[in-house]
C-alpha cells in the first residue's frame, strides 16, 4: 500500500548482527523517533538506558544470557519510570502514590509504544533488532547493574544492529481470528489448531507447536521476579 506499511509487514526479529556499529548521530535520531510515540497525557513515564560498552553488555549478559545483548551495536533497556513523577509531585506536596496496576499499565504501555517506534525507525534505516522481554526474569539483577532507582523497573530490552542473517517473515494469526466486528468473538479450538499447523509449516517442524509454547508461559504460575522487584521499587 505504501512504504511505511510495507516496512511494518516485513518485520522479523533479528538476533544475529554484524560488527557494524550504528553511528551515534543515527542512533540519536532513532531514539528521538521513539520519543515521538503516543504517551498517556504526555507524562512520558519511561526512561531508556542505552548500553553500548562491551563491559556493560557483558554485565547484562552475565545476568541473562541472551546472545543478542552481546552481539548488537546498541542495547536499549526500556524502563517504566515514575521516579521522575515522584520529583514532580514533591514540588507541590509530600504525598506520592505510584503503587498500583493502573500506574504500571501507564508506564509499561508508554515504554512499549516508544520501543516499537524505535525499532521501526531503525528498520527504516536498514538496521534490525529484537525485543528482549526475558530481562524481566532477572528484574532485580538488571536493576542493580543499570542503577535503576526506586519507582523504576525494566520492561524489556531492544537489541539493535546490522543483521547478519534475516529469517522469513513469521506468519501472524489470521485477521479474522484477531479482529471481531462490534463485539468480542471468542476463538475456537479449531482456530488454534489451524494456526498450530501454519506455524509448524513455517518452522519446518523444528519447534513445539504454538499452543504448546503458550502452555509453557501460561500453564504454570508466573515467575515472581518482576513482582518482587516491583515491591522493592515501591510500585506494588
Backbone angles phi, psi at 225, to 5 degrees: -60, -45
Q: What's the CA gap between 90 and 97, in Å, rounded?
A: 11
Domain boundaries, the chain: 3-170
User: What are the cell numbers at 107?
Assistant: 508506564
What confidence category does residue 218 fall into, taking pLDDT thresholds of 50, 70 and 90? Answer: very high
- 77: nearest Cα among 59, 91, 102, 96: 59
The 10s digit of each residue's pLDDT in 48-58 is 999 999 999 99
pLDDT of residue 143 exceeding 90 = yes
pLDDT at res. 206: 84
To the question of domain 3-170 being in CATH 1.25.40.10, the answer is no
In this structure, what C-alpha cell is assigned to residue 99? 503503587
Section 182-203 average pLDDT: 96
Residue 41 DSSP one-character state: G
Dmax over CA atoms of the chain, in Å, equals: 60
pLDDT at site 208: 87
- Rounded Cα distance, 47 and 154, in Å: 9
pTM of the model: 0.94
d(CA 30, CA 33): 5
Q: What is the pLDDT of residues 56-97, one digit of tens each?
A: 999 999 999 999 999 999 999 999 999 999 999 999 999 999
- Residue 158's nearest CA partner among 226, 69, 82 is 69
pLDDT at 198 over 90: yes
Query: Which of 108, 89, 105, 101 has its CA nearest to residue 153?
Result: 108
**Inter-CA distances, 213 with 39, 82, 107, 218, Å:** 32, 33, 27, 9
pLDDT average, residue stretch 194-209: 91
Q: Does the pLDDT value for residue 5 go beyond 90?
A: yes
Residue length of the chain: 236
Amino acid at each position: 500500500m505504501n512504504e511505511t506499511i510495507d516496512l511494518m509487514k516485513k518485520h522479523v526479529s533479528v538476533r544475529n548482527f554484524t560488527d557494524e556499529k550504528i553511528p551515534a548521530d543515527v542512533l540519536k535520531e532513532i531514539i528521538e523517533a521513539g520519543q515521538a510515540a503516543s504517551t498517556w497525557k504526555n507524562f512520558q513515564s519511561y526512561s531508556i538506558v542505552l548500553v553500548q560498552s562491551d563491559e556493560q553488555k557483558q554485565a547484562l549478559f552475565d545476568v541473562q544470557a541472551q546472545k543478542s545483548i552481546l552481539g548488537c551495536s546498541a542495547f536499549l533497556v526500556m524502563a517504566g519510570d515514575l521516579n521522575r513523577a515522584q520529583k514532580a509531585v514533591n514540588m507541590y506536596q509530600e504525598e506520592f502514590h505510584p503503587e498500583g496496576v493502573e500506574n504500571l499499565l501507564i508506564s509499561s504501555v508508554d515504554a512499549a509504544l516508544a520501543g516499537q517506534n524505535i525499532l521501526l525507525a531503525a528498520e527504516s534505516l536498514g538496521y534490525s533488532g529484537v525485543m528482549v522481554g526475558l530481562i524481566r526474569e532477572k528484574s532485580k539483577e538488571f536493576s542493580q547493574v543499570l542503577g535503576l532507582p526506586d519507582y523504576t523497573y525494566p520492561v524489556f530490552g531492544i537489541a539493535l544492529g546490522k543483521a547478519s542473517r534475516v529469517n522469513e517473515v513469521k506468519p501472524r494469526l489470521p485477521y479474522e481470528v484477531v479482529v471481531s466486528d462490534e463485539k468480542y468473538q471468542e476463538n475456537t479450538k479449531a482456530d488454534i489448531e489451524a494456526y498450530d499447523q501454519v506455524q509448524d509449516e513455517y518452522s519446518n517442524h523444528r519447534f513445539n507447536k504454538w499452543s504448546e509454547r503458550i502452555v509453557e508461559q501460561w500453564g504454570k504460575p508466573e515467575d515472581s521476579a518482576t513482582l518482587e522487584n516491583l515491591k522493592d521499587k515501591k510500585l506494588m
